[in-house]
Amino acid sequence: MNKVDHLIHAKWMVTCADDNQVLEDHTLVIHDNKILAILPGTEATQRYQANDEQHYLSHAITPGFINSHTHIAMNLFRGLADDLELMDWLNNHIWPAESKWVSQELVYDGSLLAMAEMIRCGTICFNDMYFFLGATAQAAELAGMRAHIGMTIIDVPTAWAKTTEEYFTKAIEFYQQYKNNELITPTLAPHSTYTVSTENLEKVKKLADDYHLKINIHLQEAPSEIEYSIKKYHQRPLQRLHNIGMLSPNLIAIHMTQINDADFAILQETQPNIVHCPESNMKLVSGSCPVEKLAQMGINVALGTDGAASNNDLDMLGEMRSAALLGKITANDPKALPAMHALKMATINGAKALGIEHITGSLEPGKAADFIAIDLNHIETQPVYHPVSQIVYATPRSQVTDVWVAGKQLLKNRELTTLDEKELIKKAQTWRKKIKS
């Protein structure tokens, strides 16, 4: 008998590995915070003895979700301004509120509120872009989540930095502080092609090459962005980035709802990762990303919620459902973006986009013990013919019962283990009073 840390027995195990297997009555063998094996339940108990055994008799175990694009601290602006066009929403509502209120304290409190929401819906990792990076990193360390923290570069002064030069200086400081952290990964995040000059985009590219950093950028999100670029630079944003040499598998292009034939050819040649944010795109009527066509071209498309000010939640289960439904309408094909594809966008495709597919994103021996349990034994998800169908098309996030990140349990039978729910609600209400006044 081999001694191990945990045996996790489950009714269903959705691995999200290449073979798309859904296993029944299997066991995850966890040791040293990693997946040691996945075996039929009887075989696992014959071969291994664990200090801790968990029985998920009516649950599906899946990899934890990866939210590949968000601005988590914006949870404190949730519901502040809705039902507006993108530029109106940004220029007249969000940016004024941010310039008045964004601070170390707001980002810390907003990040914790968002992390509590994310853990409660099975998200184990997020790819953020915001200001006061240290506050988000500190919050992530307390919460125990995997955090990819975008070091924002923007030619607009904020409370975080007065000049683009200062954004670069602060980015390098943050990188130096967190470059060797196990769960926190610094990335570069030039905001967009309409808020960063060509010279500064070139500087971002050089920094990314020098320090081996991923680059995140909002790209071809809405028609107005394309019009602005053609007027000012006589080319589309994608072409402009291509000329700078920024398009490669190292780039994470967020949104991409506006793609013409010339863009498809560039994407095919350069293979960047794309993050689809269907609910934000629908709410702002930005357009819709042609996910099915991109996937058929072999381009990796991951899933993100965007910030809670344009969504208005960080619910990856809801986002998967929206992606699957919008994907069918966009492709005009009910066979497009099936449930398993949506689930993989939220797991292994996110890991590939962030460059951590060797660590997480699927249940496979050698990867980190990052997994969640979803209880399907509820009125809303019965009967179960196909667990993946239930997860994507019918399961509310309240049925996520347990969440593990790197072998540590962050949600235990719906209770947060690292964060204080009551305290976070109190803080959110205090911020609402301040912001509303």
> In whole angstroms, how close is the CB of 261 to Zn ion at the nearest point?
26
> Closest CB to Zn ion among 98 and 306?
306
Residue 279 in the binding site for Zn ion (CB under 5 A): no
User: Where do the DSSP E strands lie in 334-425?
Assistant: 371-375, 400-405, 408-412, 415-416
- Cα–Cα distance, 212 to 420 (Å, whole number): 36
> Residue 221, interface with Zn ion (CB under 5 A)?
no
Minimum distance from CB of 311 to Zn ion (Å)? 10
> Does residue number 370 form part of the binding site for Zn ion (CB under 5 A)?
no
Least CB distance to Zn ion at residue 319 (A): 13
Q: Closer CB to Zn ion, residue 200 or residue 216?
A: 216
DSSP letter at 221? Answer: -
Give the dihedral sign, CA 114/211/200/259: negative
The residue whose two tokens read 């966008």 is 345
Q: Tell me how crowded residue 371 is: count the other CB atoms within 10 A of its CB.
A: 28
> Can residue 375 be called a binding residue for Zn ion (CB under 5 A)?
no
Contacts of residue 87, defined as CB under 8 A and 6 or more positions apart, other chains included, come to 222, 224
Q: For residue 406, what are the contacts with CB-CB under 8 A and spacing of at least 6?
A: 33, 144, 146, 182, 183, 368, 369, 370
Q: Between residues 71 and 146, which has the closer beta carbon with respect to Zn ion?
A: 71
Classify the C-alpha dihedral 56-59-65-70 as positive or negative: negative
Tokens of 423: 């305290």
Number of neighbours of residue 244 by Cβ within 10 angstroms: 15
Considering beta carbons, is residue 67 or 401 the nearer one to Zn ion? 67
Least separation in angstroms between CB 254 and Zn ion: 6
Report the residue closest to Zn ion, judged by CB: 306
Is the CB of 28 or the CB of 222 nearer to Zn ion?
A: 222
CA dist 414 and 397 (Å) reads: 10
Phi, psi of 22 (to 5 degrees): -115, 110
The secondary structure of 291-340 as a DSSP string is: HHHHHHTT--EEE----GGGSS---HHHHHHHHHHHHHHHHT-TTSS-HH
Question: CB-wise, 287 or 387, nearer to Zn ion?
Answer: 287
Binding part of the chain for Zn ion, among 80-88, 190-198, 231-239, 301-309 by CB under 5 A, reads: 301-309
CA 80/CA 210 separation, integer angstroms: 40
If we measure between CA atoms, which residue out of 434, 419, 422 comes closest to residue 77?
434
Q: Is 263 in the site for Zn ion (CB under 5 A)?
A: no
Question: Per-residue contact track with Zn ion, 393 to 422, x per CB under 5 A?
Answer: ------------------------------
Count of residues that bind Zn ion according to CB under 5 A = 1
User: Alpha-carbon distance 41 to 27, whole Å?
Assistant: 5
**Tokens at residue 70, please?**
């968000």
Contact between 319 and Zn ion (CB under 5 A)? no
| Nearest to Zn ion of 306, 370 (CB atom) | 306
Distance of closest approach, residue 307 Cβ to Zn ion, in angstroms: 6
Site string for Zn ion, 178-217 (x = CB under 5 A): ----------------------------------------
CB of 241 to Zn ion, least distance (A): 17
Residue 110: how many other CB atoms lie within 10 Å: 30
Smallest separation (angstroms) from Zn ion to the CB of 296: 26
Residue choice 279, 306, 370, 375 for contact with Zn ion (CB under 5 A): 306
Distance of closest approach, residue 43 Cβ to Zn ion, in angstroms: 46
CB of 160 to Zn ion, least distance (A): 16
State the minimum distance, in angstroms, from the CB of residue 76 to Zn ion: 16
Closer to Zn ion by Cβ: residue 114 or 339? 114
In this complex, which beta carbon is closest to Zn ion, that of residue 147 or of residue 373?
Answer: 147
Token pair, residue 217, equals: 């950028």
Does 225 contact Zn ion by CB under 5 A?
A: no
Only segment of 109-117, 145-153, 302-310, 386-394 that touches Zn ion (CB under 5 A): 302-310
Residue 68 or 360: the one with the smaller Cβ distance to Zn ion is 68
Window 16 to 75, contacts with Zn ion (CB under 5 A): none
Residues in touch with Zn ion (CB under 5 A): 306
